[in-house]
Amino acid sequence: MHGTRWESYRSVFPQVHDDVPGDLRVLRGLPAPHLSPRDVLVWLPEQAAARERRYPVLYMQDGLSVFDPATSLAGSWRAGQTMEILRREGLEAILVGIPNAAELRPTEYTPYASALRDEEIHGQPGGGDAYLAFLVDVLKPVIDDTLPTLPEPECTGVIGSSLGGLISLYAFFRRPDVFGLAGAMSPGIPASQMALIDLIRRGRSPKGRIYLDVGGREGAGLPDAGVAEALSRGFWDGVHRLHRLLGSTGYRDGVDMLFVADEQAVHSEGAWAARLPDAFRFLLSSG
């Protein structure tokens, strides 16, 4: 069994950005069956170890982009700063950042296999079940055994953006016995992954909370203006269809679902960071 030894974030990542707040720790080299080992990041509320209470847990994809711009390729979600703000509002949680598998990210974040390489995701899809098994069977037991968590589904969430949003929705609907909260920011659902729609249609009746969002300029920055416009329209229309689908299965806006559509928002960590406070507020509130 993996020896659980949490280390200081600053001791593992000496290039740490100066304004990363809070008790941030790293568990190095956690084995992941059928996947590459991971250095898992955890953010804890202030003095959590000394307080006699337990906390909800939010599992976040693309973990090196969650806390610190120094470890991210394109900016940070600034999740620690967001939790410091929410702490003053009475909301606290443990955040778990799971780094992606670099070039194998498209494989791990897509649950449905395809015989062909999917050019929409620039990779071979179909590793999502192995990744979900890692989250449920390996990582969550370690987190629950070593940290002051509330392990029940209603206190356990999974969050991601783009393909990370796709795998988060899949986890929520595939394993309702584990995840009762889900956040999908600018979720991408390529053609090879449309079976997710069927999973949602025949999934559980509302029991849990979903945060969903999209920007109107998701394709901004691409060199071809026509391609950028088509991508933006595809995201906008696709996520709006997903919102309507969730509504048809019983999810209610402002009750067990929060949908945010920002016409000016782009597909970036900065845009997701800007929407993160309201996402956390909704998921962590008791309703």
For residue 33, pLDDT beyond 50: yes
Q: Render 62-87 in DSSP notation, one character per residue.
A: SGGGTS-GGG-SS----HHHHHHHHH
Specify whether the CB–CB gap between 185 and 165 falls below 8 A.
yes
Tens digit of each residue's pLDDT (9 = 90 or more) over 177-208: 999 999 999 998 888 899 999 999 987 777 89
pLDDT of residue 134: 95
DSSP state of 176: T
Q: How far is CA 50 from the centre of its chain?
A: 28
Distances (CA, A) of 59 to 40, 46, 96, 159, 209: 10, 18, 5, 6, 15
Convert the pLDDT of each residue in 221-261 to its tens digit.
889 899 889 889 999 999 999 999 999 999 999 999 999 99
Question: Could you read off the pLDDT of 123-173 as tens digits, one per residue?
Answer: 777 789 999 999 999 999 999 999 999 999 999 999 999 999 999 999 999
Checking if the pLDDT of 287 tops 70, the result is: no
> Per-residue pLDDT tens for 49-83?
777 899 999 999 999 999 988 888 788 999 999 99
Packed helices 79-87 and 269-284: angle between N→C axes, nearest 10 degrees: 30
